[in-house]
Amino acid sequence: MFKLRLILLLSILALGCDLFADQVTLKNGDRFSGSIEKSDGKTLVIKTEFAGEVTIQFSAIQEIQSTAPLHVDLPDGKSATGPVTTSDGNITVTTTANGTVTAPTSSVVTLRSAAEQAAYEKTLHPGFKNGWAAGANVGFALTGGNSETENLAIAFTADRKTLNDHLGLYTNSVYARNATAATFTTPATTSTTANAVQGGLRYDRNIGARMFVFGSADFQTDALQTLDLRSVLGGGLGYHAIKSDLTTLDFLAGINYTREKYGASVTSGGVPVDSITNSFAAATLGEELMHKWGKSTVVTQKLYIFPDFNDAGQYRATFNLGTVTKLSKWLGWQNAFGDIYVTNPPPDKKTNDILLTTGLNITFTH
């Protein structure tokens, strides 16, 4: 008798758990029980006890029954929150304030559990400290003996993206020094072969599904080019030509104000050159590409051209190409190549400056 009561009690508990779980029935007769998490109208995610999260094609669903309230978004900005049932091609939401709301199941835009809805609303108005993804890259090389060299490369990027805007920060630097050992006939010498720093930020604000406005500020120094500081402040319009999880392609156009100061120097011919200061307005024409290659590698590429409004034959161009390959959740391998071209460098200075860095990348999010 005791065994019979125990079996009956366990059966009631199992039936009760099944009754109080969300149910998704497919057109082929399969049924999933658990907690419905979300749907974008194309797929539905339900968390089951034994199979974890299961993603189902929305078109394959015959019936939905939820015991917990779900937030349902419908066309024309309409929404309803409450337990959900479907039948005869319609979805019915039993709300506490407005009774039942019925609409065609095919018209569902999104469907979210209470937890998913709270997370979604948080993305609409995130705190400034939230939503950041950043990475730091450090590379160092040292030799000694007959050849004494020091090379240090540091790069840092940070991005904060929301549904409405994007803020990106970056900085990178390269320093290299070469020393020759003293001999019986020549003294030891030390020379700096690279000493350049770049940094800046850009803010984008969406004004439509594809269009956005942007403002940017970029700064650069280069000791070997005697560039004390180049400041570029600009802004304009951008267009998302491709916008997906795997690939983004943006085109940008606008104007900028550039001010650059070159320090006094001496040419290879021994001719002294006074400091030079240039200030001018220029156009901003740019293109940026991001592509996720496989499961662990992200490729980024940027190309900008800045034609001088005062002299059509003078311009500056920048090209950057980088890859980050994840080795673990927080550790990766990063490569970065950059080329800065100017048509009017100081006398006896080259038009191109190339920066190449490689090393370990440490990522963190907040």
pTM: 0.67
Cα torsion at 208, 210, 213, 218 (round to 10°)? 150
Pair 314, 341: CB distance under 8 Å: no
Pair 347, 321: CB distance under 8 Å: no
Alpha helices in the chain (DSSP H): 2-19, 114-124
SS3 263: coil
Find where tokens 């090379």 sit.
151
Query: 19 burial class (0-12, 13-18, 19+ CB within 10 angstroms)?
Result: exposed
Render the burial of 33-47: b for 16+ CB within 10 Å, e for the rest: bbbbbbbeeeebbbe
Neighbours of 346 (CB within 10 A): 18
Query: What are the backbone dihedrals phi and psi of residue 116, each rounded to the nearest 5 degrees, phi first?
Result: -65, -35
**CA separation (Å) from 100 to 73, 80, 81, 88?**
14, 9, 10, 16
pLDDT computed for residue 360 by the predictor: 84
pLDDT computed for residue 147 by the predictor: 61
Distance CA 227, CA 350 (A): 12
Instruction: Summarize pLDDT for 270-295 with one digit per residue, the tens.
Output: 556 678 888 999 999 999 999 999 88
**CA separation (Å) from 230 to 196, 280, 281?**
12, 12, 13
- Whole-number CA gyration radius for the chain: 30
Pair 228, 200: CB distance under 8 Å: no
| Mean pLDDT of the residues in the chain | 84
Sign of CA dihedral 250, 253, 257, 262: positive
Entry field: residues in the chain: 366
Query: 332 burial class (0-12, 13-18, 19+ CB within 10 angstroms)?
Result: buried
Domains and CATH numbers, the chain: 2-124 (no CATH), 132-365 (2.40.160.40)
Instruction: Summarize pLDDT for 293-309 with one digit per residue, the tens.
Output: 988 899 999 999 999 98
As averages over each run of 10 residues, the pLDDT of the chain (366 residues) reads: 49 46 92 93 90 90 93 91 92 90 92 90 76 81 68 85 88 81 61 84 93 95 87 96 91 95 69 79 94 91 92 87 89 87 81 80 78
**What tokens does 188 get?**
């030891």
